[in-house]
Structure 1
């Protein structure tokens, strides 16, 4: 009998831009953080007050993720106590139209 020389193919990876976008903004709290930052620069405490359901730990994690993705920038001022402000980068500002469209869709269908 002939030897079985079957070599399984590796799965094909399909590059999906929608998936890439969701990886950037798909976190549970990211939408709410972005919504607040569309209104301008905010401090950590302001974001906590504006999004009362988010824990400090979850907010910190979300802000770090968005910063790593280049969506927002963190500016630290050497005051006592330290002042930290968050604002959107041009990449983050570009998400505004997407969020508006999602809001319109939700108003129509949910």
Structure 2
């Protein structure tokens, strides 16, 4: 079966999106940030099993792709807060759909 031009463009677009949200940690970080601004240690606490290096790498990757914003506040000690950019907020409908899919097809029952 030959792939049409439209199908080929679809695959290219999905491949581009996956470059940004690669791996489970990226999606979970975006999910946390969709709830509001987060500091590094808040995210570490909310993502139980993530290492400092993994979280640092994910945040750097998402910042490079302009999906999140890193803001430094001149406090003592310095406070760093992460938020979604417009590009990151545009991903929220995808996160909602992933949630619905997980609720319907995941192994764990719906909460409460």
Give the TM-score normalised by the residue count of structure 1. Answer: 0.82
1:73 partner SS: strand
Query: Would you identify which runs of 4 or more consecutive aligned residues in structure 1 move more than 4 Å?
Result: none
1:65 is matched with 61
Superposition RMSD in Å: 1.3
Q: Which residue does 1:104 correspond to in 2?
A: 100
Q: 1:80 matched to which residue of 2?
A: 76
Aligned equivalents of 2:18, 2:36: Cα separation in 1: 23
Cα displacement (A) at 1:79: 1.6
Once residues 68 and 19 of structure 1 are traced to their aligned partners in structure 2, the CA distance between those partners, rounded to angstroms, is 17
Distance 1:106 1:43 in 2: 27
Structure exhibiting the larger radius of gyration computed from Cα positions: 1
Give unpaired runs (5+ residues) of structure 1: 1-13
Instruction: Give the structure-2-normalised TM-score.
Output: 0.81
Cα displacement string for residues 53-84 of structure 1 (whole angstroms, at most 9, x for unaligned residues): 10111000000000001100000112221110
Distance 1:26 1:57 in 2: 16
How many residue pairs get aligned? The number is 97
